[in-house]
Amino acid sequence: MYAKVIVDISHEKLDKGFDYRIPAHLDGEVHPGVQVNIPFGKGNRIIQGYVIEVKETAGYAEDKIKEITSVVKNSIPIESRLISLAWFIKENYGSSMNQALKTVIPIKETKKSVVRKAICLIADDEKLNTAIDKYERKHATARLKLLYALKENREMAWTLVQKLGVTLAVAKALEEEGLVIIKEETVYRNPIKYTDLLPYDIKLNKEQEKISKCICAYIDNNAMGYGGVHLIHGITGSGKTEVYMDVIDKVIAKGQEVIVLIPEIALTYQTVMRFYRKFGDKVSIINSKLSAGERFDQFERAKKGEIKIMIGPRSAVFTPFRNLGLIIIDEEHESSYKSETAPRYHARETAIHRAKGEGAAVILGSATPAIDSYYKALTGEYILYELKSRAKESKPATVHIVDMREELAMGNRTMFSSKLDELIKDRLAKKQQIMLFINRRGYAGFVSCRNCGTARKCPHCDVGLTLHNNSKLICHYCGYETPMPKTCPECDSKYIAAFGTGTQKVEEAVKKMYPTARTLRMDMDTTSKKDGYEQILSQFSNGEADVLIGTQMIVKGHDFPNVTLVGIIAADMSLYASDYRSSEKTFQLLTQAEGRAGRGSIDGEAVIQTYSPENGSIIAASKQDYTEFYNQEILYRTISEYPPVVSLMAVQLTSKDDSLLNVLANKIKDMIGKAVVDIKNIRIIGPADANVARINDVYRKVIYIKSREYDILVKIKDFIEARFEVMEENKRASVQFDFNPMSGF
Ligand code: ADP
Ligand code: ZN
Ligand code: ZN
């Protein structure tokens, strides 16, 4: 047996693995991730390296191969654990070891560290309060916002200030008045300073207490060899976050470390501040806006033990803590936990694997758990907890389902049902806020000609173009742009128009029907500017608009106490997606959208407008009844054989050459068919065109393979990979794998 060993973790050398023979006396001791002593270079100097692979053949001649000297004892450096995590990712999700290693180990950048700005309060309390009074009279919202934030924190990183929607001009104006100074610092520090932290004194209620105690008991007993996986199913506002924080407290008291995964979109100032307030500078955050170097810095601090709690999106699961005790995954059903590029790992599965290896516990939390997770909880793989009521006194929203076909029959041709119309008018009169949600960005649908029926399509992709700002057509897949034609290029008719309902159209309709309403729109267009997203949220939360119109983005985890009405303009859109998870996604979105209404002291209402009011996931969502939804859905998955009942692997094939792709796809299908005749319970579906059969002039096909056993799929993947390497087509085509895909290909 031979081992591939890398001699240095620094990025440049990741590509270079060296083969060594495993001597007989080390038989069984050498695994990926193990640290070994090896002779290196001409002088055979003994150095240390990490084993990344064990295999039966070596890459060079037998007489040139050197032997591993020994295994490094009593040292399980964190790198070695992460390498075995990379190995797990490579094995289970189909990627190269190199890709997996780069995902798992942060890249060290040699570039000089970036200069960062920070705003620091220098005024004393008296001066500060005088200034605040002055700006209150002048209604200088932006200045006030900055001053209030600084009053709490004294010093803030510029990136955080921007999140408040405050511009540099505002900060400079305050600097001129001698209230603050703008500092530039070169080293990366924690984004927030904590001088005067408000005391954090929430006491758990009985239900929360029970859950926390139970999880802690599992952690202390360690009866499972690790802390177990705990799923907290609790409606939004039921106090899950308080439970997390209570368990975190106990875990760090034992000297262990904690990773908290939060979807990027919910990683708001509000959320982060809650953790800071309780745990102070033990906390750090990472997000996708950090450069590779900054992420490296944060990970170094974690490795040195300077911080105990790391909060971040998916990739924070790789934080190199040495004594990890707990990983929390909030909103565990979110599809953003699965990587959309290779290696297509799922952070939940990866976290569980890591926790098992390092003796840590995992807490999953959601108001609408993934079908996968709930299934595992019911079968006893996870431990299930329910939080059934909101922690504070606010009731779940009253939900109305409206059948839009009846509206049409009654002669209502507007976008708003009479129920929604009535409630919008009511809320506008009461000066309460409204959120209108539509289930897709700029869903102007196909732009097509009403005369000849021809749709405008992207010349490089098999998708329709989308109308933006009534002036240009854009392809959302490749970015192709062209002006909107005045007349149909096919038949010259002037009846060429966009169909469907986009956020822009909803906004136009609101302005027309309710001229006094002040609107804000949140979609890909309005948030593509830097910090556009945070700015819109802070404007809305400051009451600068009555109606917030948006896509998915507006329903995730924001607390607006003054919102008492949520309108879901077209609930059906995600139901038609060609994806076995579409009901699950619809249920999650609707439930979350409903959860936005009535977070404050006034009760909320939600209106679901739909063309299929009999649909099970819509009915279950209107009752906010997860169990009813789960029971329907698991029946469907069982009958049609979809995850979690089986495992599913998508073999994704791409090539610029359509006919070559065809040949290749059929070859691979036949190959699998022949190779696995002896394996029962496997089903091959396809090859078929991908959902989008062509992107950027590259053709795409997909083969689905279903099996009750994940490991069989892994074997089939290895088999395809090995065969593809020697196929002549491999120069002009590529094969990728996606296990239990979260979205169509
Ligand atoms: P979730 O994470 O389930 O959405 P949170 O933990 O954010 O719920 O709780 C919702 C609100 O209720 C928060 O404002 C939180 O501070 C408050 N809250 C939660 N638990 C308690 C408690 N035991 N006592 C008082 N307030 C609580
Ligand atoms: Zn036409
Ligand atoms: Zn395109």
What are the residues whose beta carbons fall under 8 Å from the beta carbon of 24, sequence distance 6 or more? Answer: none
Domain end residue (candidates: 433, 468, 498): 498
Domain-embedded: residue 294:
yes
Q: What is the pLDDT of residue 605?
A: 94
Ligand 1 centroid – CA 201 distance (Å): 12
Q: What is the pLDDT of residue 13?
A: 46
Q: What is the pLDDT of residue 577?
A: 57
Domain-embedded: residue 579:
yes
Q: Same structural domain for residues 514 and 602? A: yes
Give dist(CA 585, CA 569) in Å, integer.
Answer: 16
Domain-embedded: residue 507:
yes
Q: What is the pLDDT of residue 330?
A: 95
- Provide the CATH number for the domain around residue 558: 3.40.50.300
Domain-embedded: residue 154:
yes
Domain-embedded: residue 532:
yes
Best residue among 200, 235, 242 to mutate for probing ligand 1, ranked by most atoms within 8 Å of CB: 242
**Residue 291 domain boundaries:** 206-343+353-367
pLDDT in tens, 582-641: 889 889 989 988 888 877 777 889 999 988 888 899 999 999 899 999 999 999 999 988
Best residue among 241, 311, 328 to mutate for probing ligand 1, ranked by most atoms within 8 Å of CB: 241
pLDDT in tens, 271-318: 887 888 889 889 998 887 777 677 778 888 888 888 999 999 999 999
Q: Find out whether 48 and 36 touch, Cβ atoms under 8 Å.
A: yes
Q: Same structural domain for residues 438 and 528? A: yes
- Residue nearest atom 20 in ligand 1 by C-alpha distance: 239
Q: Same structural domain for residues 616 and 666? A: no
- Residue nearest atom 11 in ligand 1 by C-alpha distance: 237
Q: What is the pLDDT of residue 501?
A: 55
pLDDT in tens, 534-553: 788 888 988 999 999 988 77
Q: What is the pLDDT of residue 679?
A: 61
Alpha helices in 514-555 (DSSP H): 524-527, 532-541
Distance of CA 71 to the CA centre of its chain: 39
Q: Which of 77-81, 407-411, 574-578, 626-630 has the lowest mean pLDDT?
A: 574-578
pLDDT classification of 108: cutoffs 50, 70, 90: low
What are the residues whose beta carbons fall under 8 Å from the beta carbon of 371, sequence distance 6 or more? Answer: 581, 584, 630, 633, 634, 637, 643, 644
Overall average pLDDT of the 729-744 stretch = 88
Higher pLDDT, 186 or 95: 95
Residue 347 has pLDDT above 90, yes or no: yes
- Residue nearest atom 22 in ligand 1 by C-alpha distance: 204
Overall average pLDDT of the 102-110 stretch = 66
pLDDT in tens, 696-726: 899 999 999 999 989 889 989 988 988 898 8
Q: What angle do CA 108, 113, 118 make, to 5 degrees?
A: 130
Q: What is the pLDDT of residue 428?
A: 96
pLDDT in tens, 463-485: 778 787 778 888 877 778 899 99
Residue 418 has pLDDT above 90, yes or no: yes
| Most confident segment among 277-281, 296-300, 444-448, 573-577 | 277-281
Residue 192 has pLDDT above 60, yes or no: no
Q: What is the pLDDT of residue 16?
A: 62
Give dist(CA 347, CA 337) in Å, integer.
Answer: 5
Question: Which ligand does the CA of 465 lie closest to?
Answer: 3
Ligand 2 centroid – CA 485 distance (Å): 11
Residue 729 has pLDDT above 80, yes or no: yes
Domain-embedded: residue 134:
yes
- Provide the CATH number for the domain around residue 727: 3.30.70.600
Ligand 1 atom closest to 236 (CA): 4
Higher pLDDT, 16 or 585: 585
Domain-embedded: residue 372:
no
Overall average pLDDT of the 7-26 stretch = 70
Q: What is the pLDDT of residue 11?
A: 44
Q: Same structural domain for residues 473 and 516? A: no
Q: What is the pLDDT of residue 264?
A: 82
Overall average pLDDT of the 566-589 stretch = 78
Q: What is the pLDDT of residue 10?
A: 47
Domain-embedded: residue 348:
no
Q: How many domains does the chain have?
A: 6
Q: What is the pLDDT of residue 628?
A: 96
Q: What is the pLDDT of residue 566?
A: 94
Mean pLDDT over the full length of the chain: 85
Q: What is the pLDDT of residue 680?
A: 65
Question: Which ligand does the CA of 464 lie closest to?
Answer: 3
Q: Same structural domain for residues 727 and 699? A: yes
Residue 258 has pLDDT above 60, yes or no: yes
Cβ neighbours, 10 Å, residue 521: 23
Ligand 3 centroid – CA 457 distance (Å): 8
Give dist(CA 75, CA 711) in Å, integer.
Answer: 31
Cβ neighbours, 10 Å, residue 55: 12
Give dist(CA 93, CA 108) in Å, integer.
Answer: 25
Q: What is the pLDDT of residue 334?
A: 92
What are the residues whose beta carbons fall under 8 Å from the beta carbon of 164, sequence distance 6 or more? Answer: 145, 146, 149, 269, 534, 538
Ligand 1 atom closest to 243 (CA): 6
Ligand 1 centroid – CA 603 distance (Å): 17
Ligand 3 centroid – CA 464 distance (Å): 8
Q: Same structural domain for residues 584 and 704? A: no
Ligand 1 centroid – CA 264 distance (Å): 21
Residue 168 has pLDDT above 70, yes or no: yes
pLDDT classification of 387: cutoffs 50, 70, 90: very high
Question: Which ligand does the CA of 592 lie closest to?
Answer: 1
Higher pLDDT, 734 or 280: 734
Q: Same structural domain for residues 598 and 663? A: no
Q: What is the pLDDT of residue 622?
A: 93
Q: Same structural domain for residues 95 and 167? A: no
Residue 4 has pLDDT above 80, yes or no: yes
Question: Which ligand does the CA of 495 lie closest to?
Answer: 2
Q: Same structural domain for residues 438 and 578? A: yes
Residue type for position 372: D
Question: Which ligand does the CA of 477 lie closest to?
Answer: 3
Tell me the percentage of the chain whose pLDDT exceeds 90.
Answer: 37
Higher pLDDT, 351 or 502: 351
Ligand 1 centroid – CA 365 distance (Å): 14
Q: Same structural domain for residues 279 and 320? A: yes
Q: What is the pLDDT of residue 444?
A: 46
Q: Same structural domain for residues 432 and 463? A: no
- Residue nearest atom 10 in ligand 1 by C-alpha distance: 237
Residue 260 has pLDDT above 90, yes or no: yes
Ligand 3 centroid – CA 481 distance (Å): 9
Residues with CB under 6 A from ligand 1: 202-205, 208, 234, 236-242, 391-392
Tell me the percentage of the chain whose pLDDT exceeds 70.
Answer: 89
Neighbours of ion ligand 3 (CB under 5 A): 458, 460-461, 475, 477-478, 480
Q: What is the pLDDT of residue 408?
A: 83
Cβ neighbours, 10 Å, residue 158: 19
Ligand 1 atom closest to 274 (CA): 16
Question: Which ligand does the CA of 478 lie closest to?
Answer: 3
Which pair of tokens denotes residue 233? 């199913």
- Provide the CATH number for the domain around residue 41: 3.40.1440.60
Ligand 1 centroid – CA 121 distance (Å): 31
Q: Same structural domain for residues 494 and 505? A: no
Residue 219 has pLDDT above 60, yes or no: yes
Ligand 1 atom closest to 387 (CA): 3
Ligand 2 centroid – CA 486 distance (Å): 11
Q: Which of 148-157, 209-218, 613-622, 659-668 has the lowest mean pLDDT?
A: 148-157
Residue 378 has pLDDT above 80, yes or no: yes
To the nearest 10 degrees (0 to 180), the angle between helices 141-153 and 125-138 is 160
Query: Any idea what DSSP says for residue 437?
Result: E
Ligand 1 atom closest to 208 (CA): 23
Q: What is the pLDDT of residue 559?
A: 74
Q: Find out whether 708 and 475 touch, Cβ atoms under 8 Å.
A: no
Best residue among 392, 558, 594 to mutate for probing ligand 1, ranked by most atoms within 8 Å of CB: 392
pLDDT classification of 23: cutoffs 50, 70, 90: very high
Instruction: Choose among 686, 707, 699: nearest CA to 732.
Output: 699
Ligand 1 centroid – CA 204 distance (Å): 9
